[in-house]
Amino acid sequence: MWLIRGGTVERPILLYMYRETRSADFLRKYLKGYTGIIQTDGYTSYDAHFRGKENILHAGCMAHARREFEKLWKANKNSIAGNILNQIRALYKIEDEIRTQGLFQKEMFSEIVHIRQEKAKPILDALYIYLQDLATKSDGTLDLGKAIRYTLGQWDKLVLYLYHGEVYIDNNLVENAIRPFVLGRKNWLFSGSPDGAFASAFWYSLLQTAKANGKDPYKVLLHFLKGLPLCQTSQDCEKLFFDSMGWS
């Protein structure tokens, strides 16, 4: 199950898409003509299909880079991992300040860039030098070495958010939206086929979009189901969706 979060700050849209493989190849066709930024985790299939695309900027996820160092810290209180975690924690504190000021909601992206350049960039510059130095001394086959090399390999994508205020430091909004699906599927005895997966993707797209916009999922679903038998075309369904969300 793939999940794409798009739309705007005021009107986010979540689209769940079922595919039979883990290959991101289908995104070539789906995103044909798209120009902008795509933010993902470090799954290698994304690189294979986004690399070299002049119309697409590929942003990374700091939460995924952080995760490996956190595992090391929890396992044996590794001091190097702890130091790196402290620096990443400082980056998230800056993001908390940005959110507290409501800069995302106000779409003050240039101000966000200014704050990140002033406060976050020096931290990231120092962290990059530190990681490079560690990489020359660490065994790449050990967990610490792997975490360091993963982070350095993702670096250009991880720091892209410094220059684009509309981009978050991580893609946790997508991670959080896929979690209900992962938890729920254990109970879905009827979703044992591709048809069931496609159906689940459709309804989760509707309900999770409603939740992301602060709407009552039950009311949105009820309005949509009442109007659905009257739809004759895909345009009718699209208008019904907007009406159900109160966007018309």
pLDDT in tens, 61-103: 999 999 999 999 999 999 999 999 999 999 999 999 999 999 9
Crossing angle for the helix pair 79-100 and 143-153, to the nearest 10 degrees = 40
Cα(15)–Cα(201) distance, integer angstroms: 8
Cα(18)–Cα(191) distance, integer angstroms: 12
Residues 86 and 179 in one domain: no
Residues 7 and 26 in one domain: yes
Pairing of strands 2-7, 36-39: unpaired
* 15, 22, 81, 107, 205 from 168: Cα distances, Å: 19, 25, 23, 12, 21
Q: If you average pLDDT over every residue of the chain, what do you get? A: 91
Which region among 9-23, 100-114, 156-170 has the lowest average model confidence (pLDDT)?
9-23
Cα(163)–Cα(176) distance, integer angstroms: 25
Cα(112)–Cα(162) distance, integer angstroms: 9
Residues 83 and 133 in one domain: yes
- Is there a domain that residue 207 lies in? no
Q: Which percentage of the chain shows pLDDT scores above 70? A: 96
pTM: 0.87
- Is there a domain that residue 211 lies in? no
DSSP secondary structure, 99-160, as one string: HHTTTTTTT-HHHHHHHIIIIIHHHHHHHHHHHHHHHTTS-TTSHHHHHHHHHHHTHHHHTG
- Is there a domain that residue 226 lies in? no
Reading the block at residue 168, the tokens are: 């978050």
Reading the block at residue 173, the tokens are: 């909004």
Q: Which percentage of the chain shows pLDDT scores above 90? A: 70
Cα(191)–Cα(211) distance, integer angstroms: 23
* 10, 98, 210, 239, 244 from 247: Cα distances, Å: 11, 27, 11, 9, 8
Cα(125)–Cα(159) distance, integer angstroms: 10
Per-residue confidence (pLDDT) for residue 221, from 0 to 100: 97
Residues 159 and 65 in one domain: yes
More confident residue, 141 or 3: 3
- Is there a domain that residue 197 lies in? no
202-226 pLDDT, tens digit each? 999 999 999 999 999 999 999 999 9
Per-residue confidence (pLDDT) for residue 32, from 0 to 100: 84
Which region among 26-35, 151-160, 230-239 has the lowest average model confidence (pLDDT)?
26-35
Per-residue confidence (pLDDT) for residue 85, from 0 to 100: 97
123-162 pLDDT, tens digit each? 999 999 999 999 998 776 688 999 999 999 999 999 999 9
- Is there a domain that residue 146 lies in? yes
Which residues are paired to 36 by β-bridges? 56
- Is there a domain that residue 66 lies in? yes
Structural domain of residue 52, as residue ranges? 2-58+172-191
Above 90 in pLDDT, residue 108? yes
Collapsing DSSP states into helix, strand and coil, what is residue 165? Answer: coil
Per-residue confidence (pLDDT) for residue 173, from 0 to 100: 92
Per-residue confidence (pLDDT) for residue 189, from 0 to 100: 65
Residues 99 and 147 in one domain: yes
- Is there a domain that residue 202 lies in? no
- Is there a domain that residue 201 lies in? no
Alpha helices in the chain (DSSP H): 26-30, 44-50, 62-76, 79-100, 109-115, 121-135, 143-153, 155-158, 172-184, 194-212, 217-227, 234-244
Per-residue confidence (pLDDT) for residue 44, from 0 to 100: 80
Per-residue confidence (pLDDT) for residue 191, from 0 to 100: 65
